[in-house]
Amino acid sequence: MKKKIKNIVRRIFRKRFARFFVVGIWNTFVDLAVLTIMIKILDVQPEQTLKLIFANTISGTCSIASSFILNRWVVFRDHKNPIEGKKLIKFIAISLVGAYLINNTVLNLIVLHADWLHSFTYSIIEFVKLDGIFSRGFVKIFTGKAVAGLSSMLWSFWAYGKFVFQEPRPGIDFKNN
């Protein structure tokens, strides 16, 4: 019986993670589109940390709004439950940690200290002949954004599932597993 329950939990996790991944792609698109617009409007250069954090914070905020709606309806299928204050506060707290603390910290660490990664990424851009479109600075920022996005995605998946959206199943108590 215990093995059967473990198999059910694994299947649920895989399906949930697949939904989370697809929603994450959309949220990443929202985040990157807004960040690109902000970088162009503010003329952000990689070494301009405060401008970069500001632009990234605006894009992260747009992504958080999209994330709440899609995670609630699509990933964790929690739309039948009312949006209660505690749930919204937990979601916002987890999102703030992911989008602002983790994402901004990792983004700046990569942009300022991972020259080997920027060189590698830009060599790919040159290889596919896109160096006329994307500057080194732009690639440097978006290399950092990719690593930062992955870091905050892993945090968000774990924390949303653990603290915000519980998907109860008959016979399975997720709170105690």
Tokens of 85: 């204050």
Tokens of 44: 């952000």
Q: What local confidence, expressed as pLDDT, does residue 177 receive?
A: 38
HSE-up of residue 119 (Cα within 13 Å, Cβ side): 4
**Beta-ladder partners of 172:** 169
The model's confidence at residue 15, banded by pLDDT at 50, 70 and 90, is confident
Asked whether residue 174 carries a pLDDT value surpassing 50, the answer given is no
**Beta-ladder partners of 169:** 172
Percent of the chain with pLDDT over 70: 82
The model's confidence at residue 110, banded by pLDDT at 50, 70 and 90, is very high
Distance of CA 78 to the CA centre of its chain: 20
More confident residue, 138 or 1: 138
Task: Please state the length of the chain.
Answer: 177
Window from 27-36, 102-111, 158-167 with minimum mean pLDDT: 158-167
Q: What angle, rounded to 10 degrees, do the helices at 2-42 and 136-159 form?
A: 150
Predicted confidence (pLDDT) per residue in 66-105, tens digit: 988 887 778 777 666 666 778 788 888 998 899 889 999 9
Q: What local confidence, expressed as pLDDT, does residue 173 receive?
A: 44
Within the chain, where are the H helices?
A: 2-42, 49-70, 85-96, 103-113, 115-127, 136-159
Q: Whole-prediction pTM value? A: 0.68
